[in-house]
Amino acid sequence: MKTVVSGIRSTGHLHLGNYFGALRNFVKIQEQFNCFYFIADLHSLTTHPHPDDFHASVRTILAEYLAAGLDPEKCTLFVQSDVPEVSELYVLLNMLAYKGELERTTSFKDKVRLAKAQARGVAVSDVAENDQNDEGVNINAGLLTYPVLMASDILIHRANYVPVGKDQMQHLEFARTLARRFNNMYGEEVFPEPEAFNFGQAPIKVPGLDGSGKMGKSEGNGIYLYDDEKTITKKVMRALTDSGPKEPNSPMPDYIQNLFTLMALVSEPVVIDQFKAAYADCSIRYGDLKKQLAADICKFTLPIRERIDDIYNNDEFLRKVTRQGAEKARESAAATLALARKAVGFKTF
Ligand code: TRP
C-alpha cells in the first residue's frame, strides 16, 4: 500500500482554502492509502507564537481536522513534535540543502518581503523584488530552512504521495531533490521520491475575498470553517466588486472571477450558470451573487462547525487520538531513521 503524508501548520483556524486545497482530499484518501497526517507545530514556531497560545493552536487544528472527517482509525493522525525522529532527520537533511536554493524559494522570498514591508511601514508592493537592504529585519534561520523540515516530515515516512495545494508545490519539489541527493550521496535507495497527489485534477487555488489572490492565514482574507453564519455573511458581503459589466460578454476582472471560483466549490451548478448568464448579459447584481455565495458557504460549513467545539473540549478523546497517532508515527519514523543513519555511517560502539 502506498504511503501518503501531509501536514498543516498550527496557526489560527482552518479556512476554506485549507479545506478545498487539502483537507477534503485527506479525508477521501484515508480509506485507500497508508496516510500520515499531522499538525506541524514545529513549523509554526517560525513566527514565535506566545507559549500560552501554542498548545491551544495545536488543539484547535486537531479538533478541526477531526470535525472535518479525518478518522484516527483509518489514518495516522499525530502532532509533529511528538515524533522527535523528524527533527533528527532534519539535521541530516540540512547538510544537503544549499543556502542559495533555500533563499530562492518563493515562500521564503515572500516572507522576507513581507517582513521588510512591515519593518518599513510600507505595502509589500513597495518593496522591490530584488531589494537587498536587510536593515531592521531579522529573518530567522528556521524560516530559511522551513522546506528542509517539511522534506523531513515527508521523507521520514518514506512517502510516495503528498496531497498539497499549489502553493506547496515548490516545497514538494525540494523534498524530491533532497531525497535524490541523499540517495546519490549515500548510494542507497533510502528515500522514494514523493509525488504530488491531485486525483488527476490540477491543484486548486482557493481565492481570498479581497481580490488579491489566494486565501491564506497570513493574508487575513479567509473564511474559516469555524466562522458562524453572521461572520461568513459579513465577510462575503464585503468582498470587492464593482458596478458590473457595461458590455455584453465582457472579460471578468480577477476579483469577480474569484467569487465564481468560490461558488464552484459550494454552489449548485444551475445557480452558478444563472449568475454567469447574468454576467454575460450585464443584468448581474453582485449583491445577489454574494448573498447566494454566503448562504451556500454557510450550508456547507455548518455540519463541520457543529462538531468542532465538542471535539475541542473532549480531553480524553484528544489524548487518546494523539497518543495512538504518535505511537504509530514513531514506529514508522524510527524505521526510516535507522535506514538513514546506517546509510550515513552512524554505528554504535
Ligand atoms: N508547509 C505546509 C503548509 O504551509 C505544511 C506542511 C509542513 C506540510 N510539513 C508538511 C505539508 C509536509 C505537506 C507535507 O501548509
Span 192-219, average pLDDT: 78
Integer CA distances (angstroms), 326 to 40, 78, 163, in order: 13, 5, 21
**Least confident among 23-27, 32-36, 53-57:** 23-27
User: Ligand 1 atom 3: the closest Cα is on which residue?
Assistant: 8
pLDDT at 208: 86
Residues whose CB is less than 8 angstroms from the CB of residue 56 and which lie 6 or more positions away in sequence, other chains included: none
List the one residue out of 89, 3, 74, 106 whose CA is nearest residue 42.
89
Q: Say yes or no to pLDDT of 22 above 90.
A: no
Ligand 1 centroid–CA 38 distance in Å is 9
Q: Is the CB of 267 under 6 A from ligand 1?
A: no
pTM listed for this prediction: 0.88
Quote the CA–CA distance of 33 and 5 in Å, as a whole number: 10
Provide the pLDDT for residue 146: 97
Cβ of residue 41 lying under 6 Å from some atom of ligand 1: no
Q: Is 299 a catalytic residue?
A: no
Annotated active-site residue 111? The verdict is yes
Q: What percent of the chain has pLDDT over 70?
A: 97
pLDDT, mean of residues 54-76:
97
Can you tell me the distance from the alpha carbon of 301 to that of 296, in angstroms, rounded to the nearest whole number?
9
* Model pLDDT, residue 218: 64
Distances (CA, A) of 243 to 257, 319, 337: 15, 53, 59
CA distances from 100 to 19, 56, 116, 137 (A): 33, 36, 20, 19
